[in-house]
Amino acid sequence: MTSKTSRLDRFISQNSVYSLSDTRRLLAQQRIFVDGHLAYSIQQQVTQFTHVVLDGNCLNDSTAVYMMLNKPKGFVSATTDPKHPTVLDLIQHPQKNELHIVGRLDFNTTGLVLLTNDGAWSRKISLPETKLAKIYEVTLSKPLNDEYIEVFRKGIYFSYENITTQPAYLEILSEYQARLSLIEGKYHQVKRMFGFFQNEVLALHRTAVGPISLDGLTVGHSKLLTKQTIEGQ
Ligand code: URA
C-alpha cells in the first residue's frame, strides 16, 4: 500500500547478492544506475518504483500504475467481496492485484474511481490538506433551494466524528439536481449532507477528482493515467 523510500545501499543489499558494505565499491566502479543515470551516492533515496540497475540487471520490476474507472451501479469499491462484483472485476491489467482504491464510492454510486499501487500518491490525494476537489452530480428527492448553498459553505456538524465539514460548494442545476464540490471524503458524506435537509439522494455520480475527470470514459471501462494527468499538467 505504501511506496516507502529507502537508501540506495539498503535497497541494493535487500535486492541483490551484495551486502550493505559492498555497495560503496559497486558505486565507485560505476556499476549502479538509478532511473537511467549513474548513481552518485549510496545515500540516494529510492522507492519501489525507482528503476535501479546493477551490472545491467534491473533489481525491481514494480511499475507505478495509475488508473481511472467509470464505476457502474452495483459494484463494491473493494478488492474482494463475498457477495457482489467488485471494481477490480472491471479491470484488466497484469498488476491489477497490486492495486488499491483511492476514495471509495458506495455500491450504487457511479462514476470516477481511482486505483493505484502507489501508496504515497493515494495518501497525498486523500488528505483534506491537499484540497483536491471531488465533484459530484446529485439527484435529489425533494426540491433544492439557495439555503443549501449557504449551509454547505459553512459546514455541517457530523456528531459521529465530532467534526464540521469543510466548506463545500453547491451549484443548483435544476429543481432536483445539483453539482457539489468537496475537498474531503467522510463516510457517506454527500448523503449525510443532504440528510441535514431530510432530502434523500436518489442518484450520485462522481465526475472528477482534482485534475482527473471522467472525460467521456464509458461506464464500466477503465484507462491508465499518465504522470502528467495525475500531476495536473
Ligand atoms: N458520498 C456518499 O454519500 N457516497 C459516495 O459514494 C460518495 C460520497
The per-residue pLDDT for range 11-24, each reduced to its tens digit, is 998 888 888 999 99
| Span from the CA of 118 to the centroid of ligand 1 (angstroms) | 23
C-alpha cell at 88: 477490480
How confident is the model at residue 1, as a pLDDT? 45
The alpha carbon of 117 and the centre of ligand 1 are apart by a number of angstroms equal to 23
Q: Are 165 and 155 in contact (CB under 8 A)?
A: yes
pLDDT of residue 129: 85
pLDDT of residue 98: 87
Report whether CATH 3.10.290.10 matches the domain 5-58. yes
The band of 3, judged by pLDDT with boundaries at 50, 70 and 90, is low
For the chain, the domains span 5-58, 66-230
What atom of ligand 1 comes closest to residue 201's alpha carbon? 3
Strand 66-71 relative to strand 110-116, pairing:
antiparallel
Q: Which helix (H) or strand (E) holds 9?
A: helix 8-15
Q: Which residues partner with 139 through β-bridges?
A: 177, 203
Q: Annotated catalytic, 146?
A: no
Q: What percent of the chain has pLDDT over 90?
A: 75
Nearest residue to 103 (alpha-carbon basis) of 1, 40, 185: 185
Average pLDDT, the chain: 93
61 pLDDT higher than 80: no
State which ligand 1 atom lies nearest to the alpha carbon of 104.
6
Active-site option among 55, 89, 106, 146: 106
Mean pLDDT of 173-190: 96
Give the C-alpha separation, 219 to 212, whole Å: 16
| Sign of the torsion formed by the C-alpha atoms of 115, 120, 125 and 126 | positive
pLDDT given at position 212: 95
Q: Stretch 194-200: mean pLDDT, rounded?
A: 98
Q: Above 80 in pLDDT, residue 58?
A: yes
Segment 44-59 shows an average pLDDT of: 89
Q: Percentage of the chain with pLDDT > 70? A: 98
Which residue's alpha carbon is at the smallest distance from atom 7 of ligand 1?
A: 105
Pick the CATH number of 66-230 from 3.30.2350.10, 3.40.50.261, 3.40.50.920, 1.50.10.20: 3.30.2350.10
Mean pLDDT throughout 185-203? 97
Per-residue model confidence as pLDDT tens digits over 124-166: 888 878 889 999 999 999 999 999 999 999 999 999 999 999 9
Task: Give the pLDDT of residue 88.
Answer: 96
Task: Report CA(204)–ligand 1 centroid distance (Å).
Answer: 7
Q: Specify the higher pLDDT residue, 120 or 141.
A: 141
From residue 150, give the alpha-carbon distance in Å to each of 4, 146, 156, 190.
Answer: 42, 7, 10, 15
Query: What was the pLDDT predicted at 115?
Result: 96
- Pocket test of ligand 1: the residue of 73, 114, 204, 206 to mutate, having most ligand atoms within 8 Å of its CB, is 204
- Tens-digit pLDDT profile for residues 100-111: 999 999 999 999
The per-residue pLDDT for 73 is 98
What's the pLDDT at 89? 96
